[in-house]
Amino acid sequence: MIITLKYYIYAVIVLAIDQATKWVVVKNLVLGEARPVIGEFFQITSHRNKGAAFGILQNQRWFFIVVTIAVVAGIIWYLRKMLQEGKRLLPFALSLVLGGAVGNFVDRALFGEVVDFLQFTFDLSWFGNPEYIFPIFNVADSAIVVGVGLIFLDAFLSWREEAKQGVNRGAESGDVQP
């Protein structure tokens, strides 16, 4: 029970950090205002997104609300299943995705848009382009990306372990080819 609860606590921590940082941005910056943190490279920029990643599917609020409810239900179901199987990395990854999904859900449900504020600008002059401004994002987006990366890592590690066990089983039965 306590082990299961800690993964939901991770999700709540992500949600709390996400909502707190968004609140600070909304209260202290005018929409469109940018404040440098590390020169032009990293800035806090007050931005709103009525779509998904990279601004796609603008003004589809109800679509995102319905999809997020389904995704959150699926994550909770799968998280419980993985905990029953004794997994550790995958439940942590799912808790990050869960916290991030709920963080952006809260924004969409209450305000019809997501508060984004983390902006990175890359100097690409050596490629012939003056700069590349990565799409502005938030803490929830970051948690989702890290969580998905950990899901891929868990899948890779599981695949590698299964492959190793397959070779060991083959060696025991004499089926391994030189």
Active site residues: 116, 141
Closest of 116, 99, 92, 102 to residue 64, by C-alpha: 102
Q: Identify the sign of the CA torsion 80, 86, 87, 93.
A: positive
Q: Pairing mode, if any, of strands 131-133 and 34-38?
A: unpaired
Nearest 5°: the CA angle 55, 56, 57 is 120
CA distance 25 to 119: 13
Are the beta carbons of 140 and 18 closer than 8 angstroms?
yes
Tokens representing 15 are 């949600």
